Amino acid sequence: MIQIYDTTLRDGTQRKDISLSVSDKMNIASRLDDLGVSFIEGGWPGSNPKDVEFFQRAAKTTWKNAKIAAFGSTCAVNKKPADDANIRALLEAETPYCTVVGKTSVLHVTDVLRTTRENNLRIIEESIAYLVSQGRAVIYDAEHFFDGYKLDADYSVETLKAAIRGGAETLVLCETNGGSMPWEVTEIVKQVREKVNHPLGIHAHNDGECAVANSLAAVREGCVQVQGTINGYGERCGNANLCSIIPDLELKMGLKSLPDGKLKTLFDLSHYVAEVANLSPDEHLAYVGRAAFAHKGGIHVAAMRRTSQSYQHIDPELVGNKMEVIVSELSGKGNLVSKAEEYGIKLEDDSKAVEVLQVVKNLEAKGFSFEAAEASVVMLFKRLEKDYKAPFELIDFSAEVEHRQGRGIFSEAVVKVKVGDEVVHTAAEGNGPVNALDLALRKALKAHYPAIDSFHLSDYKVRILDGNNATSATTRVLIETRNGIATWNTVGAGTNIIEASWLALVDSFDYGLTVVHPSTGGK
């Protein structure tokens, strides 16, 4: 069993742009406990009041799987542990485990701590021994271990022996600067195991883009604990990403690290932590990114339709993810057939897919992009069905922006549509022309389709595609709509931003009325 030690709440929060409240930290800790990690490092109680409060709340919480650890450093170079405020803060956190970081590189001993080698060994041993004497289990983080080992291997090993004499349960070899290569980690861990007979762990940073590889290399050489963060959050370039390490351990190396059945919750946890941290999820992360099993190339999708193993290294459901087929100008017939099947659209033969594919290619050449606008793709299919009847038909629309003295800027839109046999002519004012069009169209359709009241435009993105043409450039508009049941995305494009917005808006309403509410026609 490989111990997973999560430091998202401490090392992860050192990432630029992350700041978690105490409630945020408690909520993430609860989800980590549900995942089944062995340890949750809650923070540095000696550094700020927020971490102190976290440990107070954590002490009153029942944890099902994880042990809570407080993080701190060895005592000051001129003090005894009992007299050191940082050591006292660790004890006051009342956690079963304390993780103590100490210097293992002679560079940091002489130039950062500005003390002697012998005194550094003393503060490592005495700090750990004192915490153990107070009933705490101690994990020792050997900071800058790999760089220190390269400078003076014998001294770095002596620091580990000092931690053992103090009573440390696990010695964690820290690749703090993130610059070592996997073959260096492999060789150094191998040598350390020959010199030190004690449980080892690995804590890697990602400055050389090798944190995951270095962690796995260390495990291969006998490390039994892996420290890292969810989504690889951390200072500078980040920490080792547990969302990659955990499935690599379980699915590639055959090493158990979580309770049975918990691996499939990893996708949801990754996105949950990103949401709480107020960061956009990196959808290109291995295993847990939405793009991790998304297939766009026509040749790829054609092969995938025959066997999913052709372009996927695992079944995405093992980590709670799912396969996705992307429709774009690079698509082949198989992409469109797969997309039709996904939405339950019955094709009499593949000719409809070929027809839609050609439409997609032609429209993308004009500035459309269907990768993030699946609802528009579905509507291309729907409009080719023999029995398809559009919820409404556009006759005319206009949108104006005016400035009037005493009132300022306002917009007005007029919409004339045909719903069944009835022609409806409405107008509405809005804070902009697109908003006015949206309101006028809703007013025209509401009596026939009350469900429209639940459609909310939740995002509106505009991209200029050929900026060299200045104000005559082609504009792409993406609209995201939600109704509490589903979320869908549509696209429009053209040299007129109002027309592009109208096309995306119409697709949004059509999709909502024919796909989200198919049985009632939106009524």
- State the Cα–Cα distance between residues 128 and 110, nearest whole angstrom: 21
pLDDT in tens, 479-515: 898 987 888 888 888 888 888 888 888 888 988 888 8
- Is residue 112's pLDDT more than 80? yes
Task: Please give the residue that has the higher pLDDT: either 449 or 130.
Answer: 130
What torsion, rounded to 10 degrees, do the Cα atoms 481, 483, 486, 490 define?
Answer: -20
Residue 166: its pLDDT value, please? 98
- State the Cα–Cα distance between residues 185 and 171, nearest whole angstrom: 15
Residue 242: its pLDDT value, please? 98
pLDDT in tens, 177-197: 999 999 999 999 999 999 999
Work out the mean pLDDT of the chain and round it to a whole number. Answer: 87
pLDDT in tens, 429-484: 888 888 899 999 999 998 889 888 889 888 888 887 665 666 566 788 888 989 87
What are the structural domain ranges in the chain?
3-276, 294-360, 393-516
**393-417: average pLDDT:** 85
Task: Please give the residue that has the higher pLDDT: either 485 or 148.
Answer: 148
Residue 391: its pLDDT value, please? 86
- State the Cα–Cα distance between residues 480 and 97, nearest whole angstrom: 46
Give the least confident one: 235-244, 249-258, 299-308, 365-374.
299-308
- The contacts of residue 470 (CB under 8 Å, 6+ apart) are none
Q: Using the structure block, give the residue that is written with the tokens 């026509």.
A: 298
Homologous superfamily of 393-516: Alpha-isopropylmalate synthase LeuA, regulatory domain (3.30.160.270)
**103-120: average pLDDT:** 90
Give the least confident one: 15-29, 59-73, 446-460.
446-460
**406-410: average pLDDT:** 77
- Identify the CATH assignment for 3-276 out of 3.30.2130.10, 3.20.20.70, 3.30.450.60, 3.20.20.150: 3.20.20.70
Nearest Cα neighbor of 90 from 47, 143, 40 is 47
- Is residue 522's pLDDT more than 50? no
Contact by Cβ (8 Å): 495, 482: no
- Is residue 37's pLDDT more than 60? yes
Residue 121: its pLDDT value, please? 96
**270-287: average pLDDT:** 91
- Is residue 312's pLDDT more than 80? no
Cα–chain-centroid distance for residue 22? 21
| % of the chain at pLDDT higher than 90 | 54
Tokens standing for residue 191: 């040598």
Report residue 218's pLDDT band, with 50, 70 and 90 as the boundaries: very high
Q: Look up residue 517 and give its amino acid.
A: H
pLDDT in tens, 352-363: 666 666 666 666
pTM for the whole thing? 0.73
- State the Cα–Cα distance between residues 94 and 372, nearest whole angstrom: 49
